[in-house]
A and B are shown apart, each in its own frame.
Chain A
Amino acid sequence: MPDTAWHIIEVVVMLLLPLLMAGGLTVVERRLLGQLQDRYGPNRVGVMGEMQVLADAVKLLGKEDWIPPFADRPVFVAAPAIILMSVLASFAVIPLTSGFAVADLNVGLLFFLAMSSLGVYSVALAGWSSRSKYPLLGGLRAAAQLLGYEVFMGMSLLGVVMMAGSFDLSTIVEGQRGLWYVGPQFVGFVVFFIAGLAETRRTPFDLPEAESELVAGYHAEYSAMKFGIFYVGEYLGITLVSALMTVLFFGGWLGPILPGWTWFLLKTSILILVVIVVRAALPRVRYDQLMSFGWKVMLPLTLINLLVTAAVILAT
């Protein structure tokens, strides 16, 4: 059955590719941040420090996997698994190239939103089950942050959905032949980019971990590979958000000469680098600043964007 074999290949690629990219990103981010801050970053293992991933993995696997005696054991163990599952499940609907997606779901975009909203349980529960004050504060912030930005994250994507007339990601990419949606939906793109940073808990919005005030926030009590999973989960989240931005706003696999998947990977990689550079450029915002920014600036902005998009679509 060639169909089944092809499908298995799709599943394996869509599982391994994000994991490899996330693993590689741990080094890329540290090296790039080092360059931006006028220092070297890790450059000892391998030729340019690229084998640092393996060194880190060996170190994390070799450490004692300690569960605090005061922690809520089942939830403490389940929390890291939730983030990995929810993010990896989202990759199932991302089309790598024309016809190459694990699940060509006709509500693909909604599936991504559903999985991303489940991801926050991981952080909030990690904070709660640690049963100590800094993780709890980190978990509380994560839950509040999700409620704050999830509304405008979903609505920022509706402009694209209106223009493509579908929640299907492949159809959305096909609709961008001629003009990428980043042009007409520029406001939607900016809002989704900011929401994506909040979703992956990246630096202007990394309040749940905030190492300078909450030690390490929600994963302060985690050690060894459980900590490693949170770490990889964060990079998987960045990869996912970048891949989704590529699909929704930058024409996915569309591009001249080169095969589709190279264009997809190229665009995704550039967006990932932008996310990393943002971390080097911006300080962390305060908790109430994030909240008022989300509800008072971003939400009205997306509503106006929706209104204008709908008016333009009706007029043409």
Chain B
Amino acid sequence: MTVLFYIAGAVAVIATGMVITRRKAIHALLYLVVSFLALALVFYVLGAPFVAALEVIVYAGAIMVLFLFALMLIDAGRAEEARERDWMRPRAWIVPSVLSAALLAEVVYLLARGGVPGRTAAGAAAAGGAAGVGGAAGEAAAQVKAVGIALFGPYLLGVELASILLLAGLVAAHHLTVDLDSEDGETAGAADSGAPGRTRQKGGRP
């Protein structure tokens, strides 16, 4: 299991490195998907199959498809590639590299000292989860239940705030995409999402 963990971790790190160095946006996106998949494997090895499945379904499966959709619509051509190459000059790497090196040094220091202070409780929970990987089938159901109770118990405020944020995004997207002044209701973009907006506008017109 430890070997699997380190292989998956290495894949995640390498893939993420490839994400920031690719010139074509779609290639970068594909490496990001690989990185998410490797991360899902890390979660699984750590004893959290439910989180691993959600990682793949939500991040790799849904959000990245949305990104892919947007990138296909934009279809960055050769000009975009040239600009990307321009940004990738060695000088541009200095500051990010220094910042990342500082973070890496901190992680190495903490690991060398024998772990993060105050991790005992979390560590024990993770170990308990790891023991459950080969355990009974009821373990996953218990985990799902625990996640659900946590989301709608102690973290309820966070869930509600996130949903308000999403609602705001939804309203803004609707406002941007529906052409309120258009009399012609048969445009392809408006046909699937625009009906309520148009009626409201027509009703409110003096």
Contacts and interface: CB of A to CB of B under 8 A. Distances in A.
B61 interface: yes
Given A75-B27, A118-B60, A166-B141, A147 B53 contact: no
Given A125-B68, A150-B62, 8 more contacts: A72-B26, A118-B60, A128-B72, A150-B61, A166-B141, A167-B141, A168-B137, A295-B192
A288 B53 contact: no
A140 interface: yes
Contact size class for B?
Answer: 20 to 34
Given A106-B139, A147-B69, A118 B192 contact: no
A143 B65 contact: yes
A248 interface: no
B61 A118 contact: yes
Interface in B26-77: 26-27, 30, 33, 40, 49-50, 52-54, 56-57, 60-62, 65-66, 68-69, 72-73, 75
A114 B27 contact: no
A127 B138 CA distance: 42
Contacts of B65: 117, 120-121, 124, 143, 146-147
Nearest to A139: B72
Nearest to B140: A106
Given A107-B49, A107-B140, A114 B72 contact: no
B156 interface: no
A19 interface: no
Nearest to B26: A128
Contacts of B75: 136
Nearest to A129: B26
Interface of B: 24, 26-27, 30, 33, 40, 49-50, 52-54, 56-57, 60-62, 65-66, 68-69, 72-73, 75, 137-141, 144, 188, 191-193
Contact of B69 (A140, A168, A292): A140
Nearest to B56: A114
Interface string A64-101: 00000000101100000000000000000000000000
A120 B30 CA distance: 13
B26 A75 contact: yes
B204 to A, nearest CB: 23
Interface string A99-119: 000001111001101100110
A106 B56 contact: no
A154 interface: yes
A19 to B, nearest CB: 24
B179 to A, nearest CB: 15
B68 A121 contact: yes
Contact of A106 (B26, B66, B137, B192): B137
